[in-house]
Structure 1
Amino acid sequence: MDYFLLLHLLWSGMSVVICDQDEQQCKQTPGSLSLPVLQRIGDVTLGGLFPLHETVVEPHHQQSFDTLISKDMIFAIEEINREGKLLPNVTLGYKIYDSCSTPYQALKAAMELMVTEQDSEVEMVDNHMCPGTVPVVIGDAGSTQSLVVARFLGAFHVPQVSYFSSCACLSNKKEYPAFLRTMPSDLFQVDALVQLVKHFQWTWVGVIAGDDVYGRSGAAVFANEVKKFGACVALQEIIPKNHAREALAAIVSRIRSSGALVVLVFAVEQDAGALFDEALRHEGLTGIQWLASEAWSTAPVLSTPPKYHQILQGTIGLAVRGVYIPGLQDFLLRLHPSNPDASENPFLIPFWEKVFGCRLGANSGNQIVNDKPLCSGSEDLRSMKNIYSDFSKLRISYNVYKAVYAIAHAIKSMMSCKKDAGPFPLKACPDATNIQPWQLLHYLKEVDYINQFGEETKFDHNGDPVAIYDLLNWQLGFDGEQIVTIGMFDGTATADQKKLKLQEENIIWNGNKTTVPESVCSSPCLQGTRKAIRPNFPICCHDCVVCRAGEIKCVLCLPQFWSNVERTACFPKEVDFLSFSDTMGITLITIALLGSLCTCWVIFIFSCHISSPIVRANNSELSFLLLFSLTLCFLCSLTFIGRPSDWSCMLRQTAFGITFVLCISCVLGKTIVVLMAFRATLPGSNLMKWFGPVQQRAFITLSTLVQVIICIIWLTVAPPTPQKLMPRESAIVILLCDEGSALGFALVLGYIGLLACLCLFLAFLARKLPDNFNEAKYITFSMLIFCAVWVAFIPAYISSPGKYAVAVEIFAILASSYGLLACIFAPKCYIILLKPEKNSRKHLMSKTSVQ
């Protein structure tokens, strides 16, 4: 034992048993004061610690108390003794002390239980316990009291079985080796509360704890657990034990300012009551959905009076499971001061006077109620409708009942030990006539049986029982507040979804509502928006930011899909290409067809005047071939319009390349003819025989064949193919033709450019030849336009997106074709149609000096 603790106890005037190992004897300190005790001697005497008062009874300072809970232990003991089946030939006795709900008084009572029954010297036993002390203690109720008692009893290996202490810290067997309980650990209770919060998707929860081991540890574990699934603790406050008004008012104010609509109060009923008394003074604190820990979830003081209805109606809490114990109610209601054994109960008179508001004679010993009238003697607990006679709320009685029966089963196992098959060294069995606490502790840990109510009773390695809770809902009935069971929590279930079983349709929420309250720091973001965490705020507090285009739930759609305006679904992107139906396509088609018609009209005019000098000039065959190639140039632009396909992609580029080479070859041929004709007029020149019609045809054929070979190689090695461009930032899928081989495309354009530049150069040389109708001058203009168009085409084509790149290429084809048609054939058509007098050999052959 800690000598500092022992010294403190001696200074306090407590009755202390000193086990002197040197003298091998037990002595009782003189001058100690004995505490009131309710006892009956038996073969085995069980100790009991019960909070019969809320605090130590002092003159002019008495608070409410309850004595019925200790009668549960007496009932169970008498039932075992009466039936005689469990422990035949063994009578159980009891010694019950009042712990007064204080650690000091609980320890003082525990010390009294360890006092020997005789003030005599006795021989020491192995575990240093003095004979005559009780071998086991049932109690105490509060976790704080049990912590103190458990440290003391654990030092002597005296088993302690608590019926209401739930602090998870008591599961530590290193510090409390002899502690067991029939009350589940708070770890299970917290698990149930966390599952409840998770089930209803509350993410902004307040936690209020009592200033004791029970409240602080339970609230801390709860706060840590709810954070694991994404919820946040809006506030975490402690109710002071002195219930200072300023501190309670500050807590209420913080609850209101936090915005939390769900608040857990993890405290004993006295602390919870103080908080709710202060809340009543703040009329604005309404609409809070309270969650109750088991310590006050069935507290009659809070649920029965109507004063708390406006704030506590709809409360949801946990409670240990209770059963109807046959005979218990009649046993408790038989309590009366006139009973023969009433004189042995030192707690009966104060209890009776408190319940009925009277005094039992002038010498009752209760100075506080001496101003009350005398009791008539006809008072009967059966006629009372108050918190002491409402046995439906005494769930803890079942825990006391189970504790007594667990001890009885352990004693039975001890007495059933077979010789040379015991659990102790050398396979020894315990001495049934002298039960040692440490031996009884061993058998208590091994207890495992199904009781008469079909429930398994056993203790795990931490001394904790099977955890099963009832889920309760405080509802306002016609006759006042009533507590309704709305489900259960089974801590033995393996899957979370099976642990919590709720009848949600039976729940009435705060404010008499049937819809689940929402308790969130920020409302859930609508579809099409995403969470943006607020700086310096918990993760549950956020703003909702609109998702970007192309996202659903702020996650990018697949490349071929795009989000709708609401950002709620992904739809296939709109396919975009230069089609025959859109405005741009129709415009280009119109221009191309108009160009081909104009070319056909020129062909018609030339055909009608084929014998005229201006048509026959410079080889009419080349003129018709040039007009035919121009027609193909206009028409080849149509292959660029429409949905790209394998054939259209190959056709458009090859058709364009070949027809334009054919066209430029004809223009080049006409330019060479002009130059050769001028040279042929010089004396002794015979150049024209080297560039006659046959040579002209061969030249054009050879020039075009080069382009055909380039196209064939291009189509063979890496032909143009359809391609889908799906930019992430765009709502459209762009269909176009990929050139395949960039080198092939460059060779096609480069060859056309080479012929065009050569033609421009030769035409430029022949532009000032003396002639009334010098065709080289018009060819020069046409080549200038052609080259300007295609030089501008390259950067425009590269920088234009999607179908606009195709439109740029079509525009270049049409513009250059129109340039050739206009510059070369418009002047001839003008003379043929409007100036026929100039369409004569004489006029054309007459030479004029060109300035």
Structure 2
Amino acid sequence: MEDGTGRRPMGGSHQGFTLGFPESAGCRRYTMRFYIHLCVMTLPFCSVGTPVSSCSLSTKAMANYTEEGDIILGLLTPTSASFTRPVVTFSIQPPPYPCDAFSSDLYKSILALIFAVKEVNENPNLLPNITLGFQMFDSCYSESGSLQAIFQTVSSNDNQIPNYKCGSKPIVPAVIGDISSPSVATARVLGLWRFPQVSYVAAIPSLSNKIEFPSFIRTTVSTRSQPQALIGLCKKFGWTWIGVIASSADYFVQGVVEFRREAIQNGICIEFFETVSFSPFNNKIPKTVENVGRSMARVVILYCSNAEVFLIFREVLQQNLNGKVWIGTEAWYSTPPIDKQFLTILNGTIGIARSRAIPPNFSNFLQTFNPSKYAKLPFVKTFWEVLFNCKWPEGEVNIHAINVGQVNKTCTGLEKLVTNDMAEFNDPTSQFVSMAHNAVYAVAHALHNLLHCRPGEGPFHEKSCANEHNIQPWQLLHYLKRVHFVNTAGEDVSFDANGDIYGSFDILNWHFKENRSQFKKVGTFSDHVDQKLLINGSAIFWSGGQLPLSVCSDVCPPGHWKKPRKGQPVCCYDCVLCPESMISSETNSVRCFSCLEDFWPDNKRTKCTPKVVEFLSYEEPLGLVMTLLAIMFYVTTMMVLIVFLKFRHTTVVKANNRNLSYVLLLSLMFCFLCPLVFIGRPVTPTCSIRQSLFGIIFSICISCILAKTIIVVIAFKATKPGSNLRMWIGSKMAILVVSMSTIVQVLIILVWQIGFPPFLERNYEVLNGVILLECNEGSVAMFYCTIGYLAFLAIISFVVAFLARNLPDSFNEAKYITFSMLTFLSVWSTFIPAYLSTKGKYIVAVEIFAILLSSFGLLCCIFAPKCYIILLRPSMNTKQYLTSKK
């Protein structure tokens, strides 16, 4: 609905509406939505029949340099700077932003843009039958200049009508430029329309944010890659304790914030962080340099501009500060403040600079470049005057050029631009030449892909393609983000999801030799490959003759770990030897690692070695001695048995119940063989039977002795007339005592074997570095029950024998049994504490020793006196002697 004037009324507060200029002849409308809050706004909108001038902004059109073509690109190229800032009182119309000082810093990149457009137009395989043109604006290093230029560019008219295109001029699908600060402003505006902007200079990190700047793309490396390159250098050379001096400018602040984040993640500590600014009233730099001198860090990273580095180095000379290694960033290192007094400071420093691959034909273009061919190119003659320190004969060329010193010659236009320095990092703008060249080619390839889209295979709605006669900026942006090509220098060019080109830096080393200072390329850094940093350490010249060390604490060798110092950064630590059971195989290990169960650290605790598997073996001396003793005692017992068998009809053998003696000697023989089951590598079957065998055999031994004792007592008691004990003197009593006593032990062992069976165990805890192969008894209580029952039988035998000690000596064996039981109980009473206090294989040795000693005690105490009589005193081995009063 329109009012009588043909204007469309606007809504009230809190309502959205479309800013709609009526489409008249030659005018095309772009749609933009605004939201108005608590206000009503009235603007003189265009209507049909209304002159275009009545709806234009009241701003003077900017001058530009134009080359016609089928498709026009907008170029924002800062050429001059402002040294004066007009005071705006708003009592009169504000004057335009002044551009009163020519700057030659980026002028070669402007020539690279012109060369790239020319090269694309001459390439039959890229945009065939279509010529590229451009409108070039001087943004004057200012936000206002850049904004005014883009409004004029997208309007395609001297009258700046936002969001509107009038006239029949070719469309402008993309803008190339500008530097960092102005690009932030232009990217916000162009992002509203999704209008592509490709910058070849702006490196400020925040422009990678695609939420704020959705249509911004750049062919220069974002400063996000620079911190990674610096961190890579620090890690390569082992610098973990560094200092940082940073500029307070926004470009450097964003970069250094990213650097600090990367440093924390990579274990690099910043001892001091100082900020400086380039200002005539700045008195902080002397204090900053004093802090650098007092610091322990030998490596100092300068995140500053060239001018600030100049002030820092001047103060370094005044304070005579030595022994520091200065690390340069791309902002100043390839164009450091050249002054003879600074050569000693710069000598041996290392830094990074953006890689530059100069287009192969650009040198020829510069060699044939003549200002007369591009007479309308802004400031071309001024650039010539500054570059060659000459003066044109025309009086009109006196543009506010920066002072170039005494001019002694006249410009002819035949001077040749030097191009050899561009590849040697001596040309401060050479890096921007390749980036500007890539920017034009990126847009050209995107246009080529857009125009060669096949219907039905397009990327848009229902697989449609763009209208080549009405290319929408957002459609070109779609192709531009996905462009991928190889430039004329052979480099692969593509963009990541943030619209940034993959970062690539050259590592440079400043070397002063033979009164000549020069850069030397010693490595590269690329953030899109697996091995990001490649550097030739042997090619680097260090001022001290060797790689400087910049750490808070010395390197911890393998076998140690870094123990943090309380209250200090993580880079400050003490080297502590790893615990006994742990190792560290790397230098500067942050912790020690435990070995696997079957392994143990070596003496230096740098690697794990297999643990010693320990058990009582036949090969070692202790096992060998125990084996020999067991065999010797076994043979001795066998000989005693042979003697008793041979002299079985003699009085001594008969008088002591020879059948029980035979059983006792046989059981003692098996007792001496028991240790052989304990010696050697244990296995599960031996673990199950060895304690059972020991318990049952010893039960037979002690029960035989008990039976002997009881029979002796009964024998003497049965001599009384009318005694009923005579019936128990025979073998019945012996069988009863031995069988009953043994059956109880068998029952105990059955409960043990069924309920808590012994098993083979690998014990890692007893001895460090040793795996003890041992038999776990399954139940310690059952083990002590077995020994306890043997002790019970021995105590009964001891008591009975002790009570029978006063019986007549001729037939009395009680004294020998008493001594044998006393020996048995003494051995096994000392076994318990010895068993509990011993570790490893010596536990088995203690038990074997107790078995051998107790068995040998029984053999000696009971059978030695008898063998003495049988073998040495046969006269005593008669019935008459035994029945005599003697």
**Equivalent residue number for residue 589 of structure 2:** none
Change (3 A) 1:174 1:282: same
User: Is 1:69 equivalent to 2:108 in the alignment?
Assistant: yes
**Equivalent residue number for residue 138 of structure 2:** 97
Matches within 5 A, 1:79-118: 79=118, 92=133, 96-97=137-138, 99=140, 101=141, 105-108=142-145, 111=148
User: Is 1:298 equivalent to 2:334 in the alignment?
Assistant: yes
Do the aligned residues in 2 keep the contact of 1:144 with 1:212 (CA within 8 Å)? Answer: no
Change (3 A) 1:277 1:700: same
**Equivalent residue number for residue 38 of structure 2:** none
Question: Which letter maps to 1:162?
Answer: S
Q: State the shift of 1:396 in Å.
A: 0.8
Q: State the shift of 1:545 in Å.
A: 2.6
Do the aligned residues in 2 keep the contact of 1:664 with 1:755 (CA within 8 Å)? Answer: yes
Question: Which letter maps to 1:527?
Answer: P
Question: Which letter maps to 2:115?
Answer: A
**Equivalent residue number for residue 717 of structure 2:** 679
Change (3 A) 1:348 1:253: farther
Do the aligned residues in 2 keep the contact of 1:559 with 1:728 (CA within 8 Å)? Answer: no
**Matches of 2:393 and 2:79, distance apart in 1:** 19
- Identify which of 792, 803, 808 aligns with 1:765: 803
Matches within 5 A, 1:526-565: 526-553=557-584, 554-565=592-603
**Equivalent residue number for residue 10 of structure 1:** none
**Matches of 2:669 and 2:495, distance apart in 1:** 101
**Matches of 1:738 and 1:241, distance apart in 2:** 80
SS at match of 2:530: helix
User: Is 1:214 equivalent to 2:251 in the alignment?
Assistant: yes
Structure 1, 551-560 or 201-210: larger mean CA deviation = 201-210
SS at match of 1:548: coil
Structure 1, 710-719 or 812-821: larger mean CA deviation = 710-719
SS at match of 2:138: strand
- Identify which of 261, 269, 277 aligns with 1:240: 277
Q: State the shift of 1:723 in Å.
A: 4.0
Question: Which letter maps to 2:567?
Answer: N
**Equivalent residue number for residue 398 of structure 1:** 434
Question: Which letter maps to 2:202?
Answer: S
SS at match of 1:734: strand
Do the aligned residues in 2 keep the contact of 1:771 with 1:847 (CA within 8 Å)? Answer: no
Q: State the shift of 1:808 in Å.
A: 2.6
Do the aligned residues in 1 keep the contact of 2:764 with 2:771 (CA within 8 Å)? Answer: yes
**Matches of 2:171 and 2:311, distance apart in 1:** 38
- Identify which of 568, 571, 594 aligns with 2:609: 571
SS at match of 1:107: helix
**Equivalent residue number for residue 6 of structure 1:** none
Do the aligned residues in 1 keep the contact of 2:102 with 2:399 (CA within 8 Å)? Answer: no
Identity %: 32
**Equivalent residue number for residue 83 of structure 2:** 56
Q: State the shift of 1:564 in Å.
A: 1.7
Change (3 A) 1:594 1:191: closer
User: Is 1:315 equivalent to 2:350 in the alignment?
Assistant: yes
Question: Which letter maps to 2:583?
Answer: I
Deviations 1:481-504 (A, max 9, x none): 44455665666x5xx416x37363
SS at match of 1:755: helix
Deviations 1:111-133 (A, max 9, x none): 478689xxx99796753899999
Q: State the shift of 1:664 in Å.
A: 2.4
Q: State the shift of 1:360 in Å.
A: 8.2
SS at match of 2:433: helix
**Matches of 1:270 and 1:259, distance apart in 2:** 26
RMSD of the TM alignment (CA)?
5.8
Deviations 1:135-168 (A, max 9, x none): 6996765412432454567689886543200113
Question: Which letter maps to 1:396?
Answer: F
**Matches of 2:578 and 2:210, distance apart in 1:** 54
User: Is 1:168 equivalent to 2:199 in the alignment?
Assistant: no
Question: Which letter maps to 2:536?
Answer: E
**Equivalent residue number for residue 497 of structure 1:** 530
User: Is 1:752 equivalent to 2:787 in the alignment?
Assistant: no
**Equivalent residue number for residue 844 of structure 2:** 806
Matches within 5 A, 1:37-436: 39=65, 49-52=76-79, 56=83, 66=105, 68-69=107-108, 71-72=110-111, 75-76=114-115, 79=118, 92=133, 96-97=137-138, 99=140, 101=141, 105-108=142-145, 111=148, 127=164, 142-151=179-188, 161-172=198-209, 175-176=212-213, 179-190=216-227, 207-228=244-265, 231-233=268-270, 235-242=272-279, 247-252=284-289, 264-279=301-316, 284-286=321-323, 288=325, 290=327, 292-293=329-330, 295-299=331-335, 301-302=336-337, 307-308=342-343, 310-311=345-346, 313=348, 315-324=350-359, 326=361, 331=366, 348-349=381-382, 352=385, 356=389, 372=406, 374-375=408-409, 382=416, 394-403=430-439
Instruction: Answer 1 or 2: which has greater helix percent.
Output: 1
**Matches of 1:782 and 1:89, distance apart in 2:** 122
Do the aligned residues in 1 keep the contact of 2:366 with 2:419 (CA within 8 Å)? Answer: no
Change (3 A) 1:234 1:729: farther
SS at match of 2:558: coil
**Matches of 2:536 and 2:401, distance apart in 1:** 51
Change (3 A) 1:617 1:582: same
User: Is 1:726 equivalent to 2:764 in the alignment?
Assistant: yes
**Matches of 1:57 and 1:332, distance apart in 2:** 36
- Identify which of 685, 703, 706 aligns with 1:668: 706
Deviations 1:216-270 (A, max 9, x none): 2222223334544555555544332328775334555555666556655444433
Do the aligned residues in 2 keep the contact of 1:269 with 1:296 (CA within 8 Å)? Answer: yes
Deviations 1:36-71 (A, max 9, x none): x7856868987655555676279xx99985473365
**Matches of 1:614 and 1:408, distance apart in 2:** 126
Do the aligned residues in 2 keep the contact of 1:286 with 1:311 (CA within 8 Å)? Answer: no
Q: State the shift of 1:566 in Å.
A: 2.0
Change (3 A) 1:280 1:773: farther
Change (3 A) 1:608 1:721: same
**Matches of 1:705 and 1:359, distance apart in 2:** 130
TM-score, normalised by the number of residues in structure 2: 0.71
**Matches of 2:851 and 2:116, distance apart in 1:** 111
**Equivalent residue number for residue 735 of structure 1:** 773
**Matches of 2:807 and 2:633, distance apart in 1:** 31
Do the aligned residues in 1 keep the contact of 2:73 with 2:132 (CA within 8 Å)? Answer: no
TM-score, normalised by the number of residues in structure 1: 0.73
In structure 2, stretches of 5+ residues that fail to align are: 1-41, 86-99, 585-591
Change (3 A) 1:608 1:352: same
Deviations 1:525-562 (A, max 9, x none): 43323343333344454433322223333333232322
Do the aligned residues in 2 keep the contact of 1:243 with 1:274 (CA within 8 Å)? Answer: no
Question: Which letter maps to 1:497?
Answer: D
Do the aligned residues in 2 keep the contact of 1:38 with 1:97 (CA within 8 Å)? Answer: yes
- Residue-pair matches, total: 806
Question: Which letter maps to 2:83?
Answer: V
SS at match of 1:681: coil
SS at match of 2:435: helix
Question: Which letter maps to 1:324?
Answer: P
Change (3 A) 1:581 1:64: same
Do the aligned residues in 2 keep the contact of 1:184 with 1:467 (CA within 8 Å)? Answer: yes
